[in-house]
Homo-oligomer: A and B are copies of this chain.
Amino acid sequence: MSRSAEVICVGTELLLGEVLNSNAQFLGQELARLGIAHFHQTVVGDNPTRIKRAIALACQRSQLLIFTGGLGPTPDDLTTETLADFFQAPLVNHPEILEDIARKFAQRNRVPSPSNDKQALLPDGAQILPNPIGSAPGIIWHPRPELTIFTFPGVPKEFHRMWQETAVPYLQSTGWVTAQIYSRVLRFWGIPESTLADQVAPLLALTNPTVAPYASKGQARLRISTRATSQETAHQVIAPIEQQIRQICGLHCFGGDDETLESVVGKLLQQRGETLAVAESCTGGGLGQRITGVSGSSTYFLGGVISYTNAAKRDLLKVNAADLEQYGAVSAIVAEQMAAGVRSQLHSTWGISITGIAGPDGGSETKPVGLVYIGLSGPQGTQSFEYQISPLRGRDWIRQMSTSHALDRLRRQLLADES
């Protein structure tokens, strides 16, 4: 039988739902990426009897047991001593652990308390799995042949660092990792997941690399994955498929991996030496917030106007009062005047605007909740675009979709200019 790993998360706070168990998800992703089989995850409270039963069961069926949680200084942190007890190993004091804790505490003008002493006690034969940021180290231990135990603290930031810096290299050097999975994510806007899946249907049947569609927050994605021994080999398998997908999907594909609509728009503006201003009604500043969430956005983003009332649209954006009266604040013509107005007020290359009905109230038969107009004003003139966003998913969703549509309109315009 081939070897497999198993995850045991220790902590009554997990059973009580006070903490979301993101560590189990992280380990699932990592073990999948490293190509290590993994069939069970267990959560137990801070109870030595139940922890021991979980150990007994796990070491019957798995060769790598990964524990998270229960390494802190308090009496209900029991993982280390319960493991030692189960495998009948004495606990050995490691003074260097306490020295390290004292050093870290000193940086925050604190001193260790007597309760920290027990964090220096590890089962006889266990190696220290160093914690570069927190007080609790973990262990790498072989209590018997063909069995490896890792322990990690429950704090995700500490656990992730320890996993990447020590556990992964250990697994790579001990034959657990032969080839790992490399993935590239392509991101799309303006095309639903189902349409995207239809367009690339033949590629979804591939076995190496695999291509899998998924969607989150209205954004369709394709994940191209391959099992390979190096990043370079993986790239050779993935790149031609990425190119095919980009040819099929054209402008719908806006980026890959960690890119966002706002980071892509920012990069394009920066390359062109152009600037942007925004005029927001129903999104109330959400578009500006997304744009300025990108570090360095001050090189191309000048600012904007949140025009939540008709008066603000007239006074700050020079929207025509008669048009506001005749067509209403949520209309194509007002969106266009908002975009042109903010562009002119802030002397930017581009102005984008959003006006719509975010709900839950304020909709009518002719202007239902979810109706949104995007205005786009640039050197060649001003246009507007109408969207009907589903009201079923609520106010936040409508506002979020609106800012994405606005960024996407500008992105397509910038790319069209270049072709």
Contact A316 B289 (CB under 8 A): no
A-B contact pairs, 23 of them (CB 8 A): A15-B41, A16-B32, A17-B27, A17-B30, A17-B31, A40-B43, A278-B306, A283-B289, A284-B288, A284-B291, A285-B285, A285-B286, A285-B292, A289-B399, A292-B308, A293-B395, A295-B359, A295-B360, A295-B361, A297-B308, A305-B305, A306-B306, A311-B346
Contact of A284 among B21, B289, B316 (CB under 8 A): B289
Identical subunits present: 2
Residues of B within 8 A of A311 (CB): 302, 346-347
Is the C-beta of A387 less than 8 angstroms from some C-beta in chain B?
A: no
Contact of A38 among B15, B22, B40, B292 (CB under 8 A): B15
**Known interface pairs A16-B28, A42-B42, A311-B347; A304-B285 also in contact (CB < 8 Å):** yes
Residues of B within 8 A of A1 (CB): none
Contact of A306 among B15, B21, B282, B285 (CB under 8 A): B285
Is the C-beta of A25 less than 8 angstroms from some C-beta in chain B?
A: yes
Query: Which of A44-52, A88-96, A117-125, A169-177 contacts the other chain?
Result: A44-52
Binding site for B on A (CB under 8 A): 14-22, 24-32, 38-45, 47, 50, 57, 278, 280, 282-289, 291-293, 295-298, 301-309, 311-312, 315-316, 345-347, 359-362, 395-396, 399
Contact B303 A346 (CB under 8 A): no
Residues of B within 8 A of A280 (CB): 285, 288
**Known interface pairs A39-B44, A289-B284; A32-B17 also in contact (CB < 8 Å):** yes
Chain B residue nearest in CB terms to A29: B17
Contact A308 B298 (CB under 8 A): yes
CA distance A298 to B302 in the complex (A): 25
